[in-house]
Structure 1
Amino acid sequence: MEKQRAVPKGFMTIGEVAKKMNVTVRTLQHYDREGLLSPSSISEGGRRLYTDKDVIRLHQILSLKQLGFSLQDIKNRLIPLDTPDEVADVLAQQADEVRRKIEILSESLRELELLREEVLQMQEVDFKKYADIIVNLQMDNEYYWLIKHFDDQTLEHIRSRFDRESGTDFMNRFQKLQEEAIRLYIAKVPADSEQGQHFAEIYWKMITEFTGGDLSMLSKLVEIGKFEGTDPKWQEKQAMANEYVGQVLDVYFSRLGVNPFQEGDA
């Protein structure tokens, strides 16, 4: 009875507020320390005392926290806002942030599901390859699935030659050249034409950039597109690209008087 009389009329103790709002006393103490929700009064004995207005503010804080706002957002931006338009504007900003998080989570889920498929197809535990697949998924490299077919030597070569930025740039250029090879093949552009040889020069420079002078990599590159279990449509496109690339490079090397593929085998 004496404890109840010690609390002035219209005030509640921290324990009463915690019970009323289904939070812990520690949470209310934390909000007080952070300057987010301070009690309206302190008793002579040093007890925190809250009013109904404090409870309304606590309800506001908990609601906004449920929507995904950080305590810093609530403290610095939301609580002081007075007009519906201002609150609506901040809520719109938070909605955009939630959508961004959903996109990130959706992408993470996609990567997990694709990686799981690759792991099952590999039929072995190889965390280096797992990491390479994840990186290529994050780079939006549509050829990520080829990684499981590469041997350790090829993968180590790629890791040593490219970082994430340069790897992304290389793959973008490679894909464009593959598409151009298919276009030239379908258009029946002669391999010995100026256009065909210009393409051969650019393509060979790209291959040289990839191999870094290691001619043993050439034979491994030739095998791309011959892997079993790959998508038939991809194989068909790759076959067209490879056929045209082979034609223009034959002419290109003949004019130069060299055969780098034989040198690589030697």
Structure 2
Amino acid sequence: MNKKKAIPENYMTVGELAKKMGTTVRTLQYYDKEGLLSPTTESEGGRRLYTHKDMIKLHQILSLKSLGFSLDDIKNKLISLDTPEEVANVLNEQSLAIQQKIEQLTEAVTAIETLKNEVLQMQVVDFKKYADIIVNLQMSNEYYWLIKHFDDTTLEHIRNRFDKESGMDFMHRFNQLNDKVIRLKEKNIAPEDKQAQALAQEFWNMVMEFTNGDMSMLPTLMKFDNLIGDNNEWLEKQKQVNEYLQPALELYFQNAGINAFEGV
């Protein structure tokens, strides 16, 4: 009886509020500690007391938390919302944030499925190659699938030779060169034509840039002419480029006095 008289009318203890709102005393104590929801007053006996206004505030906290808002967001900018327009604006912000998370998770699922397919195509377990593929997927490098075809020596060379920016730049320039070669092929430009010879020189310069002058890598790079599967469109285009450039390269080497395979 005395205990009940110690609680003023329209006030609730922390236990009563927790029970009404379907939460725990520990949660309310944590909110109090974090300055998110403190009791309105204390009883004569030192019991922490809450009002119905506090209950409405707690309902707001729990509702916003269920929508994905962090406690910091709720504490710093959401509790003071007073108008429907303000509530709608912050809900819109949260909706956009959730959509971004969905997109990120979707990309992660796609990357996992892609890596799974790549792993099944590889003959042995090779976590170093797996890591390379993951990095390139995160970079949105559409040529990630080439990695499984490289041997360890070539991969190590690529890791040391290129970073993200220079690697993407190299592939961009390489594809631009391929486009120029295809245009010459469609025009039936002869291998000895100065345009074809200029592209042969540009192609060879890119080979030298990629290998850093290490001609021992040429046999490995030449194996890529015989790849099948994966990105068939890119591989078919590369095959056409190589077939057109081969006679032009031979003429270029002859005129420049270059023996590309000397010592290989």
Once residues 41 and 57 of structure 2 are traced to their aligned partners in structure 1, the CA distance between those partners, rounded to angstroms, is 15
Once the two structures are TM-superposed, the CA of residue 130 in structure 1 deviates from its matched residue by: 0.2
Once residues 201 and 89 of structure 2 are traced to their aligned partners in structure 1, the CA distance between those partners, rounded to angstroms, is 55
Instruction: Look up the match of 2:227.
Output: 227
Deviation by residue 1:115-153 (Cα, 9 ceiling, x = unmatched) = 011111114211000001111112222221121121111
Once the two structures are TM-superposed, the CA of residue 70 in structure 1 deviates from its matched residue by: 1.4
Scaled by the length of structure 1, the TM-score of the pair is 0.91
- Structure 1 residues 24 and 179: alpha-carbon distance in aligned structure 2, compared to 1, 3 A threshold: farther
Instruction: Look up the match of 2:128.
Output: 128
- Most deviating of 249-258 and 196-205: 196-205
Q: Which ranges of structure 2 fall in alignment gaps of 5 or more residues?
A: none
SS at match of 1:39: coil
- 1:263 aligned onto 2:230: no
Instruction: Look up the match of 1:33.
Output: 33
1:99-178 equivalences in 2 (<5 Å): 99-178=99-178
Once residues 167 and 133 of structure 1 are traced to their aligned partners in structure 2, the CA distance between those partners, rounded to angstroms, is 14
Deviation by residue 1:74-93 (Cα, 9 ceiling, x = unmatched) = 12211212222222222222
Asked if 2 retains the 8 angstrom alpha-carbon contact of 1:219 and 1:264, the reply is no
Once residues 156 and 61 of structure 1 are traced to their aligned partners in structure 2, the CA distance between those partners, rounded to angstroms, is 52
Scaled by the length of structure 2, the TM-score of the pair is 0.91
- 1:9 aligned onto 2:9: yes
SS at match of 1:239: helix
Specify the code of the residue in structure 2 equivalent to 1:42: E
Once the two structures are TM-superposed, the CA of residue 231 in structure 1 deviates from its matched residue by: 4.8
- 1:218 aligned onto 2:222: no
Once residues 225 and 18 of structure 1 are traced to their aligned partners in structure 2, the CA distance between those partners, rounded to angstroms, is 70
Once the two structures are TM-superposed, the CA of residue 42 in structure 1 deviates from its matched residue by: 2.0
Once residues 62 and 182 of structure 1 are traced to their aligned partners in structure 2, the CA distance between those partners, rounded to angstroms, is 62
SS at match of 1:224: helix
Instruction: Look up the match of 1:247.
Output: 247
Once residues 134 and 29 of structure 2 are traced to their aligned partners in structure 1, the CA distance between those partners, rounded to angstroms, is 43
Once the two structures are TM-superposed, the CA of residue 105 in structure 1 deviates from its matched residue by: 0.6
SS at match of 2:188: coil
Number of matched pairs: 264
- 1:190 aligned onto 2:190: yes
Percent identity over the alignment is 59
Asked if 2 retains the 8 angstrom alpha-carbon contact of 1:192 and 1:248, the reply is yes
Deviation by residue 1:38-96 (Cα, 9 ceiling, x = unmatched) = 11112233322111111111111111112121111112211212222222222222211
Once the two structures are TM-superposed, the CA of residue 248 in structure 1 deviates from its matched residue by: 3.0
- Structure 1 residues 188 and 4: alpha-carbon distance in aligned structure 2, compared to 1, 3 A threshold: farther
The root-mean-square deviation of aligned C-alpha atoms, in Å, is: 1.9
Asked if 1 retains the 8 angstrom alpha-carbon contact of 2:32 and 2:38, the reply is yes
Specify the code of the residue in structure 1 equivalent to 2:249: L
SS at match of 1:120: helix
